[in-house]
A and B are shown apart, each in its own frame.
Chain A
Amino acid sequence: MSFGLHEVSVRFGPRMALDRVSLTVDPGEVTVVVGGDGAGKSSALAALVGLLRPETGRVSRPPKSDLGYVPASAGLYVDLSVEENIAFVASAYGVPASQRDARADTLLERMGLTSARRRLAGALSGGMQRKLAVVLALLSEPRLLVLDEPTTGIDPLSRVEIWRLLSTTAASGVAIVVATTYVNEAARGTSAVLLSDARVLTAGAPEDILATVPGTLRTCPRRPEGPVSAWRRGSAWRVWSDQDVTTPTCERVEPDFEDAVVIAELAQELER
């Protein structure tokens, strides 16, 4: 059974937090929700887990006992130790003590937190806190796992480890929704939903999104003269046009996900 949002709108006073947003995730899949700050990622996840009531639209999710959620704030008890946080979550979800210890050992080991077991959660670094939050969310073996920016503020090695853990978790049949501001992480999901200004800009499998990028993308050593859509990538410039054009000093390139996100926004602006 798939979970997700169907045409969900959420309003905070006069401001739309979500405008007819849809996203689905099937068991065994990872849906990555990408977008800048204030795009509506957290609102989408909050609506999915039931923390926000949609004004219109439909939400489908498993019962709470099958739901794991990591909020953007990590949601840890900072005045409890790592072990005490684990004990609380395990008892809240009714995980038997025998299974709890084995699962916690494995997850802590994978996240490199074994030596921090007795430390207060509040005394851990920001990155370690986020890793602990992922451990807690996985402890009850949920059917739907929802993570709000689990990799923000985490060192690159740990980010890789978190994504590896999420992939193996998905492989065991769990449906996973991850929000991230790191555009390149979208390629790690089975599907991606790109949010901008409370709306879905584009959605689909990462390769489909890349294959359907409109117009032409070129890389140029300098910013071309005149009114063009251009942005810096490393030492060169990316130039996009919705027409098929060629320039002598520029070279045509296949867009990666980062380019696709920028182009999707530019294309939408052009439509307006």
Chain B
Amino acid sequence: MWAIVAKEFRQLRRDRRTLAMMILLPVLLLVVFGYAASFDVHNIPTVVDGPLARQAASRLSAPFEVTRVDPAIGLAGAREQLRNGTAVVAVLATSGDVAILMDGTQLFSVQTAERALSRQAIAANSPGGTVQIQVLFNPSLSTSWVMVPGLAGLILVFIGTLITSLGVVKERQNGTLEQLAVMPFRASQVIVGKIAPYLLVAALDLLLVLGVGIGLFHVPFVGNVGTFALGSALFLLVTLGIGILISTLSQNQGQAIQLSFMLMLPQVLLSGLIFPVSSMAPGVRWISYVLPLTYFIDISRGVMLKNAPFSTLLVPLGMLGLLALVVLGLAITRFRSDLAPDVRAAHDEPAEETSP
């Protein structure tokens, strides 16, 4: 038996990646997720509008963080501010009456805001007036309405990252990648040929998930399909790029699965899918801003629930575009040199002679 124990330790020592996963990763995850996993909302971005905006703003205290006071803005303007993500709460103060609008896609912020309002004096200090609270975009504060658009993204991460990397690594393990490298294909043709089927399957999967979400959980889709499609396509390119990148770093399917999970776990916990990004400690919040799922969730919730116009989604769309460019660029460069280090000439050349 000791022989097996000794052999196992020897093998473990060789497999640095597994060793790191067993020892370093749990500590790292605990620290990162300990700071990130928080349902407590301490700051709620709030705009105060209407003729009596200044007085109303002076009566608001934490967790409301007044980011803007504009007496010139009315009800329609206040709705727009929530739609385009300027704030989570809009207080509209008009001659004694106060209307409070909240963005229902920010589940935990709204729940915190409702609790805070019952304590704060904004209602008591408007004698003769009424206070009306209205939750927009998700009036019943349904969890599934908020989760389904995010889960759709998570499923795409799964297909894009894990399935793609496994597909490519399988070729490497079976020795068929060598064969592809020698065949009259350009590296770009191999990459596109490998990616395209997964892109198609992932796109069909996305439709299926959305169909089930809409049909079974009655999640609305009020926004522009084109914007959503563009965001999804960019997001898919990033996840497929990550998949190829993982495949270039893995010698076998086990390693690919390990790496994929190491990259998927942070996306589940740090992208805003479960815990609000605004509640995370600043030290770990920056991680959210490099994760593609964070931006996809902004787009999918914005389009599906809030009918957010294209112009307000430029930042997440732009970030996904940038990530796609960087990740795919890196993946293709690595894959290309991996595939055929010494095949530089195209297949239509008469003969080839290479020297370093």
Contacts and interface: CB of A to CB of B under 8 A. Distances in A.
Interface string A160-174: 000000000000000
B183 A93 contact: yes
Interface residues of A, number: 34
**Which of A50, A62, A69, A77 has the most C-beta atoms of chain B within 10 angstroms of its own C-beta?**
A50
A75 interface: yes
Nearest to B171: A77
Interface string B338-356: 0011110111111111111
A76 to B, nearest CB: 7
A89 B340 CA distance: 18
A63 B184 contact: yes
Interface string B160-188: 00000000000000111011011111000
Contacts, number: 92
A118 interface: no
Interface in B111-133: none
Contact of B179 (A50, A53, A63, A69): A69
Contacts of B178: 46, 51, 69, 71, 73, 75
A64 B342 contact: no
A52 B339 CA distance: 10
Contacts of A232: none
Q: Which secondary structure dominates where chain A touches chain B? A: loop
B343 A92 contact: no
A265 to B, nearest CB: 30
Q: Which residue, of B342, B349, B354, B355, has the highest number of chain A Cβ atoms within 10 A?
A: B342
Contacts of A52: 341-342
B181 A51 contact: yes
Q: How large is the interface on B (under 10, 10 to 19, 20 to 34, 35 or more residues)?
A: 20 to 34
Contact of B176 (A49, A67, A75): A75
Contact of B175 (A1, A60, A74): A74
B156 to A, nearest CB: 25
Contact of A76 (B176, B341, B346): B176
Question: Which among A63, A67, A89, A92 has the greatest number of chain B C-beta atoms within 10 A?
Answer: A63
A61 interface: yes
A57 B176 contact: no
A58 interface: yes
| Chain B interface mostly | loop
Interface in B314-356: 340-343, 345-356
Interface in A35-91: 46-47, 49-65, 67, 69, 71-78, 89
Nearest to B341: A53
Contact of A54 (B184, B342, B351): B342
Given A63-B348, A71-B175, A75-B174, A54 B356 contact: yes
Given A58-B353, A62-B351, A51 B176 contact: no
Contacts of A93: 183-184
Given A49-B182, A50-B181, A71-B179, A77 B174 contact: yes
B353 A69 contact: no
B175 A62 contact: no
A212 to B, nearest CB: 31
A51 B182 contact: yes
A47 to B, nearest CB: 7
A231 B348 CA distance: 52
A51 B175 CA distance: 12
B352 A63 contact: yes
Contacts of B354: 50, 54, 58-59
Contacts of A76: 174, 176
A47 B342 contact: yes
Given A50-B354, A54-B342, A64 B347 contact: yes
A123 to B, nearest CB: 14
A67 B174 contact: no
Given A59-B355, A62-B352, A74-B175, A50 B182 contact: yes
Given A50-B342, A64-B347, A56 B184 contact: no
Nearest to B185: A92
Contacts of B346: 63
A37 to B, nearest CB: 18
Contacts of A56: 356
Nearest to A7: B355
A49 B348 CA distance: 16
B353 A59 contact: yes
B345 A63 contact: yes
Interface of A: 1, 46-47, 49-65, 67, 69, 71-78, 89, 92-94
Interface of B: 174-176, 178-179, 181-185, 340-343, 345-356
Closest 9 CB pairs of A and B: A73-B175, A75-B179, A50-B343, A53-B341, A65-B184, A53-B342, A64-B184, A58-B355, A50-B342
7 contacts: A57-B355, A59-B342, A60-B351, A61-B351, A63-B350, A63-B351, A93-B184
Given A61-B351, A64-B183, 19 more contacts: A46-B178, A50-B343, A50-B354, A51-B178, A51-B181, A51-B182, A51-B340, A53-B342, A57-B356, A59-B353, A59-B354, A61-B352, A62-B352, A65-B184, A67-B182, A73-B178, A75-B175, A75-B178, A76-B176
